[in-house]
Amino acid sequence: MLVVIKQDYDEMSKEAALLVADLIHRKPNCVLGFATGSTPLGLYQELIRMYREEGLDFSKVTTFNLDEYVGLPPEHPQSYHYFMWENLFKHINVDRRYVHIPHGMAVDVEEFCEWYEERIKQAGGIDLQILGIGANGHIAFNEPGSSLGSRTRIKTLDEFTKRDNARFFENQEEVPKYTITMGVGTIMDAKSLLLLASGNSKADAIHATVEGPITALYPATIVQMHRKATIICDEEAASKLSRKYSGYLS
């Protein structure tokens, strides 16, 4: 596991974008796993800039998103379909046929989850999975207590995550109770991981993920076991690491 500490959010986002762009240059038909939330927005803005100013080509890239709220149609402003198209996809030359986002309105959610897993396999697996991290240690919507071998499935959001996500809705009651999410095992199958964290609110999460014991009560800690995982965070998110300067890149 490689931990890279950058001065601030902008520097963190640019460093992450360089890793993504390098993969696309080396493998134009790569498979990218995308995350939503506020943390990767800077990364996506930098990828858009690279496309517009440097000709970064997404035309052969296949994408898979981590999760989606159950019960929200794709056009809903808080759906992750809407998020991805507004903040990245409609600004680059990605081929719509190669974009995969869990379908929150699926009639048979269990059947859809099986199809999603199979589609990832058919694409050759995910080359690089981008991740955020919740303050309670969740990755995707794998809440504390999730099986570390879990696959794509429906999950109930815990109250902590619902409160955290309420800022995107009119009130907490509007936050959906259920999501479709890649499992921890699905995430760990990716050939490489790129986890991003920014701000003081993620300092405890990064400390536990990098230096704490591996436990299902803090799902992000499983990243320690991945053969090729990179964590890029800013100074604030790294502030509680005990080996901040001696053991990690900065």
Residues labelled as active-site residues: 67, 136, 138, 143
Length of the chain in residues, anyone?
250
**Which of 62, 68, 173 minimizes the C-alpha distance to 119?**
62
* DSSP three-state, residue 91: helix
Query: What is the DSSP annotation of 153-222?
Result: EEEEPPHHHHHHHGGGSSSGGGS-SEEEE--HHHHHTSS-EEEEE-SGGGHHHHHHHHHS--BTTBGGGG
Under a CB-based contact definition with an 8 Å cutoff, are residues 46 and 40 in contact?
A: no
φ and ψ at residue 199, rounded to 5 degrees = 95, 160
User: How many degrees, rounded to 5, is the angle at CA 152 between CA 146 and CA 156?
Assistant: 50
Under a CB-based contact definition with an 8 Å cutoff, are residues 204 and 170 in contact?
A: no
Burial of residue 22, with CB atoms counted within 10 A of its CB: 0-12 exposed, 13-18 middle, 19 or more buried: exposed
**Which of 135, 18, 39, 31 minimizes the C-alpha distance to 83?**
39
